[in-house]
Amino acid sequence: MTDTVPSGGRSPEEVRALADSLRSRVDLFGKGLAALATVGTGAVGLTRIGDVFPLSTWGSWVGAAAAVLGLLAAGIGAVFIATQLMQVGDAAVVDSSLDGVAEQDRANVRRVFVAAARRFGYESLPGLEERERALRQSASRASSTSEAERRTALADEVKLEVEQALARGQLAVVRGRATRAVTGGWAQASYVAILVGLVVFALGADAASSPRTDKISVAQACAEARTAGAVGPDLEDSACAATQKSTPDPEPPTAGEARHQLLASLTEASGDCQELSGGPRGTGDRPLTDADCQVIDEAIAALAGRR
């Protein structure tokens, strides 16, 4: 009667369960990274592209460019890590020929196979598989039942060792993928790219959006300040200083326009004088005289003669 547990101390099913558990932990790690990235981008506070554009200053353009580059770097790093984490969940197909094993995992899997084969005096897993087949063939040709059972038991032991070696090889492949995805050199570079990219994105977006002010909000705030009693000197150092003059100062009239305006005023004054004139000496209800009105008429004639 042979032991049903191979040299590794665990059955093949237990080893495969360890590989599945490792995949689950890596998947949980990936979800945690995704949640952290979501919190990082949400902390910037941008909810729409209008928070940044249009850009009005050279510094705003630099900030927007930095934000775009930072977000691009973080996105590339996140895509790389996500791809590596998804590869951990792929099926690990391992056989004694190592044909389906990636080059970077072959050394670890080969060590597992050699350790299993050396337990029975062989140097490779294919040789151990050939040993199992030879034992079963010899068991079928045994001269006695007891000898056949002994050789069959040896063949079963070898088969269990081979299955356990294959399961441990699968675990080595999954562990290698997980190591590269979580702590490998490219993974660490991706973490740095994500962190630096998010920081640059936050700073660049803030630099691009800070110079922009909402004119309507500023106008409302200034109106409330004036309603509360704020006067010109109180508003000089604030954003309200630019809104103190709602309209620009009018341009001074030309000489011709000034004469025209003066003639219109004098003509109107002459009409009023005629209505209030009481003749050469004036009367009680009409105190002005013709001489008074004549002065206005002479001024009109003189001004009209200069046109």
Q: Name the residue ranges covered by the structural domains of the chain.
A: 12-209, 255-305
pLDDT of residue 54: 54
Residue 153 pLDDT class (50, 70, 90 cuts): very high
Cis peptide before 54 (omega within 30 of 0): yes
Any bridge partners for residue 288, and if so which? 277
CB-side neighbour CA atoms (13 Å) of 207: 18
- Whether residue 57 is predicted with pLDDT greater than 70 in this model: the reply is no
Alpha-carbon separation of residue 98 from 17, 73, 111, 216, 255 (angstroms)? 21, 37, 12, 70, 102
Question: What sign results for the dihedral spanned by CA atoms 183, 185, 186, 190?
Answer: positive
pLDDT in tens, 197-229: 888 887 777 766 655 555 556 667 777 777 766
The per-residue pLDDT for 173 is 92
Q: What percent of the chain has pLDDT over 90?
A: 21
DSSP character at residue 55:
P
pLDDT over 50 (residue 23): yes
Higher-scoring residue by pLDDT: 242, 138: 138
Q: Is the pLDDT of residue 242 over 70?
A: no
Res 165: pLDDT: 93
Answer for the pair 289, 280: CB distance below 8 angstroms, yes or no.
Answer: yes
Q: How many residues does the structure list for the chain? A: 307
More confident residue, 171 or 207: 171
pTM for this prediction: 0.58
pLDDT of residue 167: 93
- Looking at residue 229, what is its pLDDT? 66
Query: For the chain, what is the mean pLDDT?
Result: 78
CA 61 from centre of chain: 18
Tens of pLDDT, residue by residue over 245-282, are 544 556 777 777 777 787 788 788 878 777 777 666 66
| pLDDT number for residue 47 | 47
Q: What are the tokens at 61?
A: 């353009």
Instruction: pLDDT band for 306, please (50, 70, 90 cuts).
Output: low
CB within 8 Å of 13: residues ≥ 6 apart: 167
Residue-by-residue DSSP string for 261-291: HHHHHHHHHHHHHHHHB-SSS--SS--B-HH
What average pLDDT does the segment 283-299 reach?
74
